[in-house]
Amino acid sequence: MKNKSAAMYLVFSLVGFAILATGAILAKLTRNDQGIIQTLPYILIGIGAGVFGQNLGTAFDIYTMKKNPEIAKQREIDEKDERNIAIRNKAKAKAYDLMILVFGALMMAFALMGVSWSVVLAIVIAYLFVVFSNIYFISKYDKDM
């Protein structure tokens, strides 16, 4: 494992918590507002929770690995093991197949429910982006290998 310091991740974790707290306070203070002010607190809560949790977890992970070098060595071996890499790649492929089905069902459900066309169109664009990126990478790796 690379020589990393948990301090940087703890600082980012505190920044994430501050964003989360700001969102919670704004949500409490702006209950009857309209437009972006109505949704901004919840966006801040989501971003703050993600930044807080991810960085705090990474900081604890680094701290644990520094305390237990034998566990760190075993984890490094596990991460580079070809069998584990193949398992992760196969799991990603299955998750992609499932995501294509879920995206399709979600687009159909939104269209049938009469959800705003801008929302349906945004989902369709995201769906097509994923599908076309898959086609691109298949073509790219087919040429490389």
Instruction: Tell if the pTM clears 0.75, that is, is over it.
Output: no
pLDDT tens digits along 32-43: 777 777 889 999
**Residue 53 is encoded by which pair of tokens?**
């949790």
Contact at 8 Å (CB) between 62 and 4?
Answer: yes
| Same domain, residue pair 90 and 123 | yes
Boundary of a domain, candidates 41, 57, 80: 80
Contact at 8 Å (CB) between 39 and 23?
Answer: no
| Same domain, residue pair 88 and 74 | no
**pLDDT of 3:** 61
Q: Which domain holds residue 13?
A: 1-80
Count of structural domains, the chain: 2
| Same domain, residue pair 72 and 45 | yes
Nearest-CA neighbor of 48 among 11, 27, 22, 29?
A: 22
Boundary of a domain, candidates 80, 105, 123: 80
Tell me the three state secondary structure of residue 56.
helix
CB atoms within 10 A of CB 29: 10
- Side-chain-side CA neighbours of 20 within 13 Å: the count stands at 13
pLDDT tens digits along 92-142: 999 999 999 999 999 999 989 988 988 889 999 999 999 999 999 999 988
Residue 1 has pLDDT above 50, yes or no: no
| Same domain, residue pair 89 and 133 | yes
| Same domain, residue pair 11 and 32 | yes
DSSP string, 32-64: S--THHHHHHHHHHHHHHHHHHHHHHHHHHHHH
| Same domain, residue pair 41 and 89 | no
Task: Give the span between the Cα atoms of 15 and 21, in whole angstroms.
Answer: 10
* Better-predicted residue by pLDDT, 124 or 145: 124
**pLDDT of 58:** 94
| Same domain, residue pair 90 and 74 | no
Boundary of a domain, candidates 29, 45, 80: 80
| Same domain, residue pair 131 and 69 | no
| Same domain, residue pair 91 and 120 | yes
| Same domain, residue pair 53 and 92 | no
